[in-house]
Amino acid sequence: MQTYYLAVDIGASSGRHILGHVENGRMLLEEIYRFDNTQIRQNGHDCWNLPALRQHILTGMKQCRLLGKVPVSLGIDTWAVDYVLLNEKKELLGDAVAYRDKRTAGMEKYAEALVKPQELYARTGIQKQPFNTLYQLLAQKREHPEQLHQAAHFVMLPEYFNFCLTGKLQNEYTNATSTGLVNAHTKTWDAQLLFQFGLPEKIFGSLAVPGTCVGSLTEEVQQQVGFNCTVVLPATHDTGSAFLAVPTKDEHSVFISSGTWSLLGVENSEPVTTEASRKANFTNEGGAWYRFRYLKNIMGLWMIQSIRRELNGVSYVQKNGSQSSNTGKKWSFDELAAAAEASDYCGIVDVDDERFLAPESMTAAVQEVCRTSGQPAPETVNDIMRCVYRSLAACYADSIHQLQQLAQKDYSSIYIVGGGCKDAYLNQLTADAAGLPVFAGPVEGTALGNLMVQMIAAGEYCSLREARAAVCSSFKIQCFAPVQEKRSYTRIKEGVCL
């Protein structure tokens, strides 16, 4: 009789239910349900479709029952920063606005007038991104002051889904740090910052750490899914889970969690909140066991996904139920990589450019950024893809270089986990651009990290070190050696064809 654990891992574009169990020390995973995560336009904003996501969570759970593989526990992780507010009766106030929505425009300036960026970073260690929860809360306060007034609970999305399953409200530490409102040194909400930003301290609940049990399923949910189990907190921020699953204990490795975003960095035992670090916009996100993920957000596969959606005539925000407007060719990711490989286009863009965050058309944005940086705009699919691929690899290499300078340390390998590690072409470009070997896998890094915390909480492994060692022996890791001489970062950054 096996003991099963269930990871519900929801990303910005799709979600999955992965069952895991341990056999002779090895971890075995089984994907039992997968679904698309499509945003909806609501009250003038791009929003997450909470009822649909909740339904998908339940449908995947029912699948466990159908398969006769009922988990002893489940954990939910999602992307970070997004939240909802609940009133005293624990009812939703307003919508779950999605982080790429434009409501935060102008909020950074407003926040800077209240707290100097230097002070904010010294206290929280969190990077400046227009979508940070802090700016979202300030935008909500401007548009709907009554919602903040009525709010009794600030709840991040995995916590909201846990609440739907258990009826229990519990804030979680790793995701909370992504709000930009948790003090990196005290590891709890920064009351002084909340006061300075005019946010009500009472709505921010105590922070539980990964491994904490939230509760059992409510009677109603038990009836719907046909079983009971414990809901456990993993690192509910997906990147927090993904980093746990990196199969190395090498102190000289750089990690990349590759999905909609590419999160590139290392794990530290203390936050780095120096001015040099702030200027490089490296972030110190809280992790399980109070480890810090010191990393940079890189635009990532979002650029490739967006171009693919455009070519295939699909929108990432559902408008009036419309789906595909293209009845012609549908591009797969493999075809797009092959297209890039077939081109000799030389231009390169800075993928950190905010114009790539939520453009109407990613293709047009790439062309515009090329033009405004004095390079010919790529016109064909091949050239556009080549530009994006090389720009991503260049940014990875550049960020590793920055990391080396900030940490005063040399790095000798790159570990890539997550869906993006299946992209052999990008892995090879990355190895070449950085002049370092790339180790790719496991693909289901986030779900695996989620499961590892549940398994450690249940006593299957006695430490993260032991669980990581089990990842090494359980999954195939592919190596990409650099085949070209190490390239100069500045030359890549300047967009010179190498």
427 vs 446, which CB is nearer to ligand LFR? 446
Query: Does 432 participate in catalysis according to the annotation?
Result: no
- Closer residue to ligand LFR (CB): 33 or 131: 131
Note whether 181 binds ligand LFR by CB under 6 A. no
Q: How far apart are CA 410 and CA 407, in angstroms?
A: 8
CB of 68 to ligand LFR, least distance (A): 32
In DSSP terms, 253 is beta-bridged to 413
Output the smallest distance, CB 261 to ligand LFR, in A.
Answer: 4
Total residues at interface with ligand LFR (CB under 6 A): 13
Smallest separation (angstroms) from ligand LFR to the CB of 296: 10
User: Contact between 439 and ligand LFR (CB under 6 A)?
Assistant: no
Which region among 87-95, 258-266, 420-428, 447-455 touches ligand LFR (by CB under 6 A)?
Answer: 258-266
Work out which of 6, 10, 80, 256 binds ligand LFR, going by CB under 6 A: 80
| The one among 239, 277, 284, 306 contacting ligand LFR by CB under 6 A | 239
Our finding on whether 243 is near ligand LFR (CB under 6 A) is no
Catalytic residue among 82, 238, 398, 423: 238
Read off the tokens for 496. Answer: 């010179």
Among residues 163 and 243, whose Cβ is nearest to ligand LFR? 243
Residue 99 interacts with ligand LFR (CB under 6 A): yes or no: yes
- 11 vs 287 by CB, closer to ligand LFR: 11
Q: Which is nearer to ligand LFR, 11 or 286 (CB)?
A: 11
**Residue 238 engages ligand LFR in binding (rule: CB under 6 A):** yes
Residues 259-288 that bind ligand LFR (CB under 6 A): 259-261, 263
State the chain's maximal CA–CA distance in angstroms: 64
By beta-carbon proximity to ligand LFR, the closer residue of 54 and 128 is: 128
Closest CA to 307 of 395, 367, 374: 367
* Residue from the set 297, 363, 430, 454 that interacts with ligand LFR by CB under 6 A: 297
CB of 82 to ligand LFR, least distance (A): 7
The C-alpha angle 83, 89, 91, rounded to 5 degrees, equals: 40
- Inter-residue contact 324 to 313 (CB < 8 Å): yes
User: Is 345 among the residues that bind ligand LFR (CB under 6 A)?
Assistant: no
Distance CA 126, CA 285 (A): 7
- Please state the closest distance from residue 357 (CB atom) to ligand LFR, in A: 11
Q: Is 81 in the site for ligand LFR (CB under 6 A)?
A: yes
By the criterion CB under 6 A, which residues form the site for ligand LFR?
A: 11, 79-81, 99, 237-239, 259-261, 263, 297
Q: Which residues are catalytic?
A: 238
